[in-house]
Amino acid sequence: MEIIRVEGGHALGGTVEVAGAKNSALKLMAATLLAPGVTTLTNVPNISDVHIMGKVLKRLGSTIEVVDEHTLIIDTSNVSTWEAPYELVAKMRASTAVMGPLIGRFGKAVIAMPGGCNIGARKMDLHILGLEALGVQFENDHGYLHAEAPDGLKGTTVSLAFPSVGATENLIMAAVRARGTTVIDNAAREPEIVDLVRMLNEMGARITGGGTPVIEIEGVEELHPVQHRVVGDRIEAGTFLVAGALTGDELEVTGFAPIHLAMVLKKLELMGVQVEQTATGAIVRRTGKILPTDIQTLPFPGFPTDMQAQVLTLAALAQGSSVITENIFENRFMLASELMRMGADIRIEGHHALVRGVDGFSGAQVASPDLRGGAALVLAGLVADGVTDVSAIHHIDRGYENFVEKLRGIGAHVERLTVPDDDDSDF
């Protein structure tokens, strides 16, 4: 079994550069299906979720060449099927991002219904309602969603009941090939949506309003392949900024746009962290105590749910009590019980975490509950007394490239080890 072993109490310092955004790269890869030919994506993170999306595209008939680890050359000329198989969708829910482009290209798609994951049900109803408005008919058969637009796609106005990131993306990637104009009202505004809109417009789409709640898409006959650089990963950046906030040492994080993390930077300042924005990122340092603050996760530009675990860890060491409310996913506080094994004092009441700051963590054996919770446990280990062993680190590998190497590069005493699994004998 692989673990990440962290020895607490070591100062951090220097500069760490983040990779391209996982939550953009996966959708940009899916969008290549809309433009038969050779697309080049640069600044692609080398993470397991990207590898799975690569498998999905290959299964559909694409070829993919990896150049220098961060450049993908994707040829979708010969894509001839439109089915995303269960074994890949089950591994990664984001595989459903191929639904919009497949419908846009072929007028149909067959997508395995994604199971829930450990943070919530992860439903698809908003995707389905929106695409039905465009003329898509759905049938749920044996765990597969069969989508078909018998009369083609016709532009219309779609109002999303919730600004779902995935639903907004799938709708955009279908609407670019619809007859007429589509307006998405109450659209998600995340920076990754803006990155997708930017690439689609480079491909010949006519989309306005990306990053605002109203996105207008004028359908076009065809899209052509391009070269596009993936936007920097704001969540990876926020994760390292919290590492610096925890240890208090001066730490520079580069490779992302601070405006994409404005609410997080503001909350860090309220928690007693000095934040200096730079042209390519931000520098954090802390001289005084960590201060408590209340946080509500919300759709962008609100506080991002993907930074909730990291800031929960910081609040657990604050001088006072904080209330952290998770409004996006129904089960995203699993980190709390692992942090309590390290000495945190957290009580979960529904979708609120009541956090009473403690003086410090003690190192312990803990298990990653999910991607961001796993990263947060490694961060907790950085300031814990003694050694922390974090298991189930496959979760972390989904979204963090070279996480251990990057932490070592800024002074952390952390290593990736293989330890024997509990023996499976009966006694």
Catalytic (active-site) positions: 117
399 touching ligand EPZ, by CB under 6 A: yes
Residue number, 122 or 408, with CB nearest to ligand EPZ: 122
- What is the distance between the alpha carbons of residues 150 and 106, in angstroms, rounded to a whole number? 11
165 touching ligand EPZ, by CB under 6 A: yes
67 touching ligand EPZ, by CB under 6 A: no
126 touching ligand EPZ, by CB under 6 A: yes
Residue from 120, 209, 301, 409 in contact with ligand EPZ (CB under 6 A): 120
Q: Which residue is nearest to ligand EPZ (CB)?
A: 166
Residue number, 75 or 306, with CB nearest to ligand EPZ: 306
Any residues with CB less than 8 A from the CB of 395 and at least 6 apart, and which?
A: 368, 369, 370, 371, 373, 374
- What is the distance between the alpha carbons of residues 409 and 351, in angstroms, rounded to a whole number? 36
23 touching ligand EPZ, by CB under 6 A: yes
140 touching ligand EPZ, by CB under 6 A: no
Number of residues engaging ligand EPZ in binding (CB under 6 A) = 24
Residue 202 burial (CB count, 10 A): 15
159 touching ligand EPZ, by CB under 6 A: no
- What is the distance between the alpha carbons of residues 243 and 328, in angstroms, rounded to a whole number? 24
The H helix count followed by the E strand count for the chain is 14, 26
- What is the distance between the alpha carbons of residues 315 and 322, in angstroms, rounded to a whole number? 7
Residue from 70, 105, 228, 372 in contact with ligand EPZ (CB under 6 A): 372
Residue from 133, 167, 205, 318 in contact with ligand EPZ (CB under 6 A): 167
Per-residue contact string for residues 352-371; x = within reach of ligand EPZ by CB under 6 A: -------------------x
Residue number, 95 or 247, with CB nearest to ligand EPZ: 95
The letter for the amino acid at 299 is: P
- What is the distance between the alpha carbons of residues 410 and 227, in angstroms, rounded to a whole number? 32
Residue from 6, 56, 57, 94 in contact with ligand EPZ (CB under 6 A): 94
Which has the closest alpha carbon to 38: 95, 83, 79? 79
Residue 426 burial (CB count, 10 A): 4
Closest distance between ligand EPZ and the C-beta of residue 327, in Å? 9
Which residues within the stretch 296-315 sit at the binding site for ligand EPZ (CB under 6 A)?
305-306
- What is the distance between the alpha carbons of residues 330 and 122, in angstroms, rounded to a whole number? 9
Strands 206-208 and 181-185: unpaired
Closest distance between ligand EPZ and the C-beta of residue 68, in Å? 24
Structure tokens at 340: 């309590």
Closest distance between ligand EPZ and the C-beta of residue 101, in Å? 15
Per-residue contact string for residues 318-357; x = within reach of ligand EPZ by CB under 6 A: ----------xx----------------------------
The letter for the amino acid at 289 is: K
Residue from 31, 124, 217, 242 in contact with ligand EPZ (CB under 6 A): 124
Scored b (16 or more CB within 10 A) or e, 42-66 reads ebbbebbbbebbbbbbebbebebee
End-to-end CA distance of the chain: 20
Contacting positions for ligand EPZ (CB under 6 A): 22-23, 26, 94, 120-127, 162, 164-167, 305-306, 328-329, 371-372, 399
